[in-house]
Amino acid sequence: MQVEVKMRDDKDHTSLKSLTPSYLDPEHSSFSSFDPKKLSPSVDPKISFVDPARPERYDFMVSDEASGKRLDLFIFEAAKAQGLSWSRSQIQKWIEDGRIEIVFSATQLKPSYPVVSGETVRVAPPPPKRLQLEAENVPLDIVYEDEDIAVINKPAGLTVHPAPGHEEGTLVHALLFHLKNLSGIGGAMRPGIVHRLDKDTSGLLLIAKNDAAHQKLTAQFQTQQVERRYIALVCGKMKDDEGEVRLSIARHPVDRKKMAISRSRGKAAHTRYRVLERFSGYTMIEAALITGRTHQIRVHMTAIGHPLIGDPVYGSCRRPEIKRQALHAALVSFTHPRTGKTMRFTSPLPEDLTILLAALRKHRDA
């Protein structure tokens, strides 16, 4: 079953419908309220959706094939198979803190303990730490919200989470004010944050309101099951109607605030794109993230000779209509962590990109 939710467009902006991609023009939108008595069987029963104030417990049965493995390695692999993002060091600390036990056994456990076939390993992660942030009444466009997730339409200029030089007025501060609960897995400074957008990139951002939802969504990102599509306006006339970029990305060796193409040090990065419209000296594209590296679209487009209009870091192509990179997160689609339904959201272009697009269309290529 698929549920499509199209974001409202309160302002008279150019909507994505005018950009022609059919996937951004759902014929109808609906969402039925969640009924806990009809919980989808696709949700793993080992992951409990409980009150965020109470810690969750996870039981893992040791199979014959896993017998003899180190306890920390067994838990790491079993948790990963269930979409849980626990590190080995995190698991080892939980063992030391007594948060992991063998059911019906008083054995004193160490990370090196060899698990035995038929044992049930019980893990009780600590509850999220109390957030050391103060809520701020920062305006927030909440496109969708239920008890597990929220989808936010982030404006350009809003930093996602606190960082040096951005200790106040971030999206996280706004989330604490507007939403009742947030997951704590991302750390005290990043509650609810499953993925991020650059400060000057606008568009849709997915938020987790409890740890179980966070773990499920993180697993979807890691296995490339989340669809993310962006609208970008780039410099130059793209020759091909569509293409892809597969270039590894790493931190810049000199300027640590930048990313760079690096075949030796970088992480694999993959972007697909297609041309939506051509203008005199510029091109509008739809870019789909297959991976999600920092600044990926910006770095990849620059690498193939088409930096984004207005990008102050990776290009020198400027237009008077816009003061930031011309990049907008226009679509996100994922599986709801509780119900198993497909959720699909779209966002129209914001005002500054609409104005830029109108100016470029005055000099459209034949």
Q: pLDDT for 245-259, tens place per residue?
A: 999 999 998 887 899
Beta carbons within 10 angstroms of residue 143's beta carbon: 18
Residue of 300, 313, 288, 297 whose CA lies nearest to 247: 300
pLDDT over threshold 90, residue 37 = no
The number of helix segments (H) and strand segments (E) in the chain equals 6, 15
pLDDT over threshold 80, residue 198 = yes
User: Within its chain, how far is the Cα of 36 from the centroid?
Assistant: 26
Q: Which of 72, 148, 198, 352 is catalytic?
A: 198
pLDDT band at residue 132, thresholds of 50, 70 and 90? low
Residue of 100, 99, 105, 98 whose CA lies nearest to 119: 105
Percent of the chain with pLDDT over 70: 82
Q: pLDDT for 212-240, tens place per residue?
A: 999 999 999 999 999 999 999 999 999 99
Q: pLDDT for 94-115, tens place per residue?
A: 999 999 999 999 999 999 999 9
The answer to whether 198 is a known catalytic residue is: yes
Cα–Cα distances in angstroms (integers) from residue 246 to residues 154, 196, 198, 273, in the given order: 28, 21, 21, 12
pLDDT over threshold 60, residue 39 = no
pLDDT over threshold 60, residue 19 = no
Q: Provide CATH code, domain 58-123.
A: 3.10.290.10
Higher pLDDT, 165 or 195: 195
For the record, the structure tokens of 361 come out as 């269309």
Q: pLDDT for 67-97, tens place per residue?
A: 999 999 999 999 988 878 788 999 999 999 9
pLDDT of 15: 36
pLDDT of 85: 77
Check residue 53 and report its DSSP letter.
T
What are the extents of the domains in the chain?
2-22+130-361, 58-123
Q: DSSP of 179-229, one letter per residue?
A: -S----TT-TTSTTBSS---TT-EEEEEEESSHHHHHHHHHHHHTT-SEEE
As a whole number of Å, the end-to-end CA separation of the chain is 42
Instruction: Return the amino acid letter for 165.
Output: G
The CATH class of the 2-22+130-361 domain is alpha beta
Report, as an integer, the average pLDDT of 151-168. 86
Strand 202-208 vs strand 327-335: parallel, antiparallel, or unpaired?
A: parallel
CA 238 – CA 251 distance, rounded (Å): 27
Residue of 109, 47, 77, 131 whose CA lies nearest to 338: 47
